[in-house]
Structure 1
Amino acid sequence: MQRVTISLDESLAEAFDALSGEQGYTSRSEAVRDLVRKAIEARRVEHADGVCVANLSYVYDHHVRALAQRLIDIGHRHHDLIIATTHVHLDHDHCLESVLLKGPVGAVRALADAVRAERGVRFGELNLVSVSPNDDHTAPHDHRHGAHAHLTPGRG
């Protein structure tokens, strides 16, 4: 393990300590390691062309004319990417949907962009993790799946 030293002004250090404490970190080092991992993964995924797993979450106003049907239609056009969808009624006007996705990064991003661009969709976020398809069935998990491969996340 390498040691890295950083300098923070006092107010930034206090805010960082408060945030990392709220998130349950017991040391600055572990909090900084997680931030670095997230930044590296975000950059890697930003430029990835391979396969990913992802979660698209968004809030929408179900009173916007025909929006719910348009969202369903988008989902049906991309049925090959969608693993599951969860729908939650937040109040009398708004719904939260969380869509689990799997497929080529470009196609997943295009689906997310199409959903977020619909009038009445708010707060859309895509959490994307690039993965590598593999067929590694070595011990201790020696088993066969026939025609599908596992999806292994990148190590950061």
Structure 2
Amino acid sequence: MNEKEALVRFGISMPQSLIEQFDAMLVSQGYDNRSEAVRDLVRRALLAPGHIQTEQMAAGTIVLVYDHHVSDLPMVLTDLQHQYHQEINSTLHIHLNQHQCLEVIVVRGIVSRLRDLQQRIQVLKGVGYAELSVTHVDETDHAEHGHHHHHDDHHHN
């Protein structure tokens, strides 16, 4: 929240049992007050897939679990990730057991491209799970920034 932004007060009515559960959650999660918790819940709700415009810039993760013994799946996943190299910032690969791998792909780009990548991964034979989670939406107009951020390109070799 912008420090200069005015706070607006409003009331919420809830059943007593629900507010008691909410207050218990606040204590367990370390919130100082209900307002902070409600703000976080609203922010989280606004990041839900149905509320994000497809042409917005966003950052997040694609988490997938797959069987690396399925034909040429590791090679197909690598090739697919190379097709989306502009959107992929980093990957983390973990061997869960003899057959399954977990991969976390850190992504940043236009939401429609991120969703496209997630969907292309999800439909591959051997992929058991692939989920896009958007954790930040860039509120500035993406058109003024374009799809590429060149200011750091000279640092990467």
Cα 1:14/1:65, change in 2 over 3 Å: farther
**SS of equivalent to 1:60:** strand
Distance 2:130 2:37 in 1: 26
Structure 1 position 91 matched with structure 2 position 97: yes
Asked if residue 42 in structure 1 is aligned to residue 51 in structure 2, the reply is no
Runs of 5+ consecutive residues of structure 1 not aligned to the other structure: 136-145, 150-156
The answer to whether the Cα contact below 8 Å between 2:53 and 2:111 also exists between their aligned partners in 1 is: no
Query: In the alignment, what sits opposite 1:14?
Result: 20
Quote the RMSD (CA, aligned, Å): 2.8
- Kindly indicate whether residue 11 of structure 2 is the aligned counterpart of residue 5 of structure 1: yes
> Is 2:32 the counterpart of 1:26?
yes
Q: CA deviation at 1:14?
A: 3.3
CA contact (8 A) 1:48 1:130 kept: no
Structure 2 counterpart of 1:154: none
How far apart, in 2, do the equivalents of 1:43 and 1:72 lie?
Answer: 26
- Choose the corresponding residue for 1:67, options 44, 53, 73: 73
How many percent of aligned residue pairs carry the same amino acid? 37
Residues 59 and 130 (structure 1), Cα distance of their counterparts in 2 relative to 1, 3 Å cut: same
Richer in strand (by share): 1
TM-score scaled by length of structure 1: 0.71
Runs of 4+ aligned residues of structure 1 deviating over 4 Å after TM superposition are none
Aligned length: 139
1:98, distance to aligned residue in structure 2 (A): 1.0
Q: Which has the higher helix share?
A: 2
Unaligned runs of 5+ in 2: 1-6, 153-157
